[in-house]
């Protein structure tokens, strides 16, 4: 700062030698000014973040203690919604369906993506073309993906049954009660495998080259190289992928709505599907909708926090 | 696949080594072919559904049911597309989607880069706390917030307006992290030079930071636009008027209202993918970086 210099202003000249008190005050003013500037930059985004994310998350807690409807008005019932949740038609079922869906879809997504990435990362010619096609299904909105899969799973002219018929096998009712959730999981594999494949490709390309040269010199076969080198090196990346894909899997809704409409029966009715039904299908279940949403939010927050903690502690250890 | 790799330094005549080399080269080429074969099979499995739907969209209602199916749509039947564009609100939905997604993208790129600059470079009490709070809530989806968001938006009197579609997605903090990461990578000297030249903080942001992170801005724009293009739950809840339906909501309505019209559905599926396919083709690198943005969160 220009302390002790002369400043010309309005014809008078004044020494700027400051007493410690003035100095402190000026420093505080400068600091406040810097803080204000910073808030002007952060402010707009922070406002949106608080109003449309923090407030709704807290709001969910409040709504989950209410009974009644958004329009018709509510009254507080404490924790009754949570106590009644297990017996409520569809709530437990929706949670079960969502978890089963995640269990069915995530392992094939990640294993498939890893397999594709291992090959794609070490390919010379045509990599760009492969990447384009592998990634393309990722950009299909869930609703449209659901429509497309109607054409694969249709009993009369669906692609799956055409192939079966071509092979001389019996056609299958793909969207029947036993298999609908599995088909929904398969759709998710189709739609998401490319996302994680491209993600893993970047990770694999970033692995230290020297280790592989050393492994080559030792004559390590590809299988061992994968098992003892690539996999351990990708540990954190894989953990991240498992957590994030689980969080995404728990949100499944649009494909279920379009492909199976939650059925047959309630076999593909997922958590967000139920929330939507509670809010718009009946006018007195808004508390239950919030309560079951809160279950989902808590699950997602737990996963997020676990990941933040584990990734941080490992960073120190490595 | 053979896993025997020739050990270097093994004793033997020069000829034997040369033969060994030739063999290992052949083996490598074979493995290369195997890789291509694997990728071609994967690509085929991923792309076949698209082909089948495009095929169906050019068939009339009896051709769809014919067995064995025609593998080429000749002569093409365009009635499905005529019906989609003429009898449904498809073009309006498409406009709404592009308008909402475009607006959200524009605002987000602006406010996220500003917030990212603040978190990366400016003095701010509680910066760390804000950062962690955003990180914790990063993964909470709009779909889990339907009840309070709907109550909030109706209390603001915004139901059935474009604002109801545009405002809630602005809360997503992913872009802030992305921008913070990009801006942290810039050398301090550049900003300090700007400061010495008498630029205000906003001047530094606009004239120095923004031009330098332009590649990051494009990636951010692609991420946000794609997410908006695909978003469904919130637009479904926020709008009930036909004029405000976005593409995903309109297409879902085609499915649930009226009887089964496979021709119309296939045409809708194909047409919905046209804009995003064009964008992807043009901005391939930025789209693929979308997959990597997640890695930044570590």
Looking at residues A110-123, what average pLDDT do you find? Answer: 92
Would you state the pLDDT for residue A40? 93
Kindly report the average pLDDT of chain B as a whole number. 86
Task: Give residue A139's pLDDT band: very low, low, confident or very high (50, 70, 90).
Answer: very high
Mean pLDDT of A178-203: 93
Q: Residue B62: its pLDDT value, please?
A: 77
**Model confidence band, residue A71 (pLDDT cutoffs 50, 70, 90):** low
pLDDT at B7: 43
Please identify which residue in the block is written with the tokens 């707009």: A44
Report how far residue A285's alpha carbon sits from residue A291's, in angstroms, rounded to the nearest whole number. 10
| Residue A48 to chain B, least CA–CA distance (Å) | 5
Residues 39-68 of B with CB under 8 A from A: 39, 42-43, 45-50, 52-53, 56, 64-68
**Of residues B173, B179, B154, B176, the one with CA closest to residue B164:** B154
pLDDT tens figures, B32-83? 788 899 999 999 999 999 999 998 889 887 787 777 777 777 778 888 898 8
In B, minimum Cα distance to A44 occurs at B111
Interchain pair A303, B139: CB under 8 A: yes
Please report the pLDDT score of residue B12 as a whole number.
53
C-alpha to C-alpha distance for B271 and B83, rounded to whole angstroms: 12
pTM of the model: 0.86
B293 pLDDT tier (thresholds 50, 70, 90): low
Q: What is the per-residue pLDDT for B167?
A: 95
Give the side-chain half-sphere CA count within 13 A for B145: 24
Residues of chain B in contact with residue A149, where contact means CB-CB under 8 angstroms, are 49
pLDDT at B224 over 90: yes
* Rounded Cα–Cα distance for residues B79 and A308 (Å): 53
Task: Give pLDDT tens digits for A267-316.
Answer: 899 999 998 888 887 767 888 889 999 999 999 999 999 888 887 754 44
Report pLDDT for A197: 93
A60 interaction partners in chain B (CB closer than 8 Å): 144-145, 147-148
Q: What is the pLDDT of residue A283?
A: 63
CA distance A188 to A312: 30
- CA distances (Å), origin A102, targets A90, A252, B24, B159: 18, 9, 43, 33
Average the pLDDT over A148-156 and give the result.
Answer: 91
Mean pLDDT of B244-252: 93
Residue of A nearest to B50 (CA): A148
Q: What is the mean pLDDT of residues A137-149?
A: 94
pLDDT the model gives residue A137: 94
**Residue reference for tokens 């080559």:** A216
CA distance B209 to A107: 41
> Alpha-carbon distance B272 to B277, whole Å?
9
**In whole angstroms, what is the distance from residue A29 CA to residue B278 CA?**
53
A260, A184 contact by CB (below 8 A):
yes
- By the 8 A CB rule, do B230 and B165 touch? no
Is residue A258 within 8 angstroms of chain B, CB to CB? yes
Q: How distant is the Cα of B162 from the closest Cα of chain A, in angstroms?
A: 16
E strand or H helix at A74: strand A73-76
Dmax (CA) of chain B: 87
Phi, psi dihedral angles at A68 (to 5 degrees) = 115, -155
pLDDT of the residue at A315? 45
Pairing of strands A12-15, A6-9: antiparallel
Would the pLDDT of B297 be above 50? no
The string of pLDDT tens digits covering residues A27-39 is: 889 888 888 999 9
Q: What is the mean pLDDT of chain A?
A: 86
State the average pLDDT over residues A89-115. 92
* Predicted confidence (pLDDT) per residue in B121-178, tens digit: 888 888 999 999 999 999 999 989 999 999 899 899 998 899 999 999 999 999 999 9
Q: How confident is the model at residue A72 (pLDDT cuts 50, 70, 90)?
A: low
A49 CB within 8 Å of a chain B CB: yes
Worst-scoring range by mean pLDDT, A160-164, B21-25, B86-90?
B21-25
Q: Calculate helix-pair angle for B262-282, B214-230, nearest 10 degrees.
A: 170
> Which residue in A has a C-alpha nearest to residue B142's C-alpha?
A53
Distance CA A108, CA A72 (A): 45
Instruction: Name the closest residue on chain B to residue A201, using Cα atoms.
Output: B292
ipTM value, please give it: 0.85
| Chain A residues touching residue B174 (CB < 8 angstroms) | none
């Amino acid at each position: 700062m220009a302390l002790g210099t002369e400043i010309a202003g309005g014809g008078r000249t004044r020494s700027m030698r400051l007493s410690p008190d003035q100095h402190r005050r000026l420093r505080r003013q400068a600091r406040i000014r810097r803080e204000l500037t910073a808030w002007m930059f952060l402010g707009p985004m922070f406002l949106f973040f608080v109003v449309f994310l923090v407030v709704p998350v807290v709001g969910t807690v409040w709504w989950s203690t209410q009974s009644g409807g958004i329009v018709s008005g509510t009254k507080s019932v404490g924790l009754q919604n949570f106590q009644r949740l297990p017996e409520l038609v569809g709530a437990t079922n929706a949670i079960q369906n969502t978890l089963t869906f995640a269990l069915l879809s995530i392992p094939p997504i990640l294993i498939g993506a890893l397999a594709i990435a291992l090959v794609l990362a070490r390919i010379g010619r045509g990599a760009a073309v492969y990447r384009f096609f592998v990634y393309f299904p990722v950009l299909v909105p869930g609703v449209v993906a659901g429509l497309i899969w109607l054409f694969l799973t249709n009993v009369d002219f669906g692609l799956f049954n055409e192939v079966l018929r071509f092979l001389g096998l019996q056609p299958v009712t793909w969207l029947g009660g036993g298999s609908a959730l599995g088909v929904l999981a398969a759709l998710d594999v189709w739609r998401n495998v490319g996302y994680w494949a491209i993600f893993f490709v970047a990770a694999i390309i970033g692995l230290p080259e020297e280790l592989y040269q050393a492994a080559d010199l030792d004559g390590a076969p590809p299988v061992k190289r994968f098992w003892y080198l690539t996999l351990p090196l990708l540990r954190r990346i894989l953990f991240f992928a498992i957590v994030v894909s689980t969080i995404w899997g728990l949100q499944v809704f649009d494909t279920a709505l379009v492909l199976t409409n939650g059925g047959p029966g309630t076999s593909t009715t997922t958590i967000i599907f139920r929330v939507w039904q509670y809010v718009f299908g009946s006018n007195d279940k808004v508390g239950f909708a919030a309560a079951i949403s809160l279950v989902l939010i808590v699950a997602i927050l737990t996963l997020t926090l676990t990941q933040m903690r584990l990734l941080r502690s490992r960073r120190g250890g490595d | 696949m053979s896993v025997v790799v020739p050990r270097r330094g093994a004793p033997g005549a020069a000829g034997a080594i040369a033969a060994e080399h030739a063999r290992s080269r052949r083996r490598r080429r074979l493995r290369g072919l195997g890789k291509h074969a694997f990728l071609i099979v994967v690509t085929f499995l991923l792309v076949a559904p698209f082909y089948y739907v495009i095929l169906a969209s050019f068939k009339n209602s009896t051709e769809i049911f014919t067995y064995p199916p025609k593998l080429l749509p000749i002569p093409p039947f365009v009635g499905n597309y005529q019906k989609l564009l003429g009898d449904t609100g498809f073009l309006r939905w498409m406009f709404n989607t592009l308008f909402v997604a475009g607006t959200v993208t524009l605002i987000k790129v602006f406010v996220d880069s500003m917030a990212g600059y603040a978190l990366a470079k400016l003095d701010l009490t509680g910066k760390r706390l804000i950062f962690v709070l955003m990180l914790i809530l990063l993964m909470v989806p709009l779909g889990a917030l339907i009840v309070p968001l709907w109550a909030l938006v109706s209390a603001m009197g915004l139901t059935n307006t474009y604002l109801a579609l545009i405002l809630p997605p602005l809360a997503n903090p992913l872009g802030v992290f992305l921008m913070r990461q990009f801006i942290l990578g810039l050398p301090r000297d550049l900003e300090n030079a700007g400061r010495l030249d008498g630029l205000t903080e906003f001047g530094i942001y606009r004239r120095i930071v923004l031009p330098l992170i332009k590649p990051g801005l494009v990636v951010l724009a692609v991420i946000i636009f794609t997410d908006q293009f695909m978003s469904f739950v919130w637009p479904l809840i926020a709008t009930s008027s036909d004029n405000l339906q976005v593409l995903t909501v309109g297409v879902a309505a085609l499915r649930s209202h009226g009887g089964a019209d496979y021709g119309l559905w296939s045409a809708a599926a194909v047409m919905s993918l046209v804009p995003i396919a064009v964008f992807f083709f043009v901005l391939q690198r930025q789209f693929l970086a979308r997959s990597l943005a997640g890695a930044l969160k570590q």
